[in-house]
Amino acid sequence: MIKIAVCDDEKQTTAELEHILTDILGGMNLDHEIACFLSGNELCHTLETGVRYDLIFLDIEFSKNEINGVEAGRLIREAHHDNTASIVYISWAKRYAMQLFQIRPLDFLIKPLSREKIEKTIKTYIKIAALSAGGKGEITYKKGHATHNVRIRDIIYLEARDRKVIIHRSDGTEDDFYGALKDVYEEQLKENDFLFIHASYAVNYDYVTVVKYNAFHVVGSLAPLPVSRNRKDEVREQYSAIMKRRMGV
């Protein structure tokens, strides 16, 4: 079940988006539930009750008496501590794109909305959320004779230590297995928006909070994770490319 929130103060846009999403997801035979909101305040009040959504389509501009989409996004990430919800911003203008950097949106759609772009966004979400029938969106590893799987969207970062790869999950738990981090990255993570910032660290773009030239700050880590000197330029280019692709700029 994919729980989706659509938040836009334009009733026509909200209704149109709900219709398109229902048609796309129905055509994919994916169970879904869509809740519609006409203000950022209304959405945030619902989140305060403990309700969570997997995918949120969020307008940026609301009336002066309402919190805007940027503020709502920050509340989702910081006040509600929700780092797994995929946020898709929608707006009539591109000028907001760079303001959304730390909110880590999945995508940025320009109005008027097109079915083609919405469908592309849904397919990107499905890949990240590991909802595809082929099981993509998980990494596989062995411990002893057993094979384990973990959803990519649940991984904050991976760490290489003492010939083991340590998985740091979003729920605060860890697991480890013998292996080479570089091999795991190349074979299972590179195409899923992870960044190999150091011989000892591969981080999930969706959990990066602050980017510095020599370090990345990620959710759940008290200390910043170092970026290798010889990888600084490449890592920043990769990060920028992911951000621009996600936000359509």
Q: Are 62 and 73 in contact (CB under 8 A)?
A: no
> What does pLDDT average to in each consecutive run of 10 residues of the chain (249 residues)?
94 95 93 94 92 93 83 86 86 69 80 92 78 59 90 90 93 92 92 92 89 87 90 90 69
Structure-token match 């938040």, residue found: 7
Per-residue pLDDT at 135 = 43
d(CA 126, CA 16): 21
Report helix, strand or coil for 108: strand
- β-bridge partners, 141: 148
Structural domains in the chain plus CATH codes:
2-129 (3.40.50.2300), 138-247 (2.40.50.1020)
pLDDT at 172: 86
C-alpha torsion sign, points 42, 48, 54, 59: positive
CA atoms of 152 and 3, how far apart (whole Å): 19
Task: Look at residue 129 in the predicted model and tell me its pLDDT.
Answer: 65
What's residue 39's pLDDT?
Answer: 92
**Per-residue model confidence (pLDDT) at position 65:** 76
Residue 215's identity, in one-letter code, is A
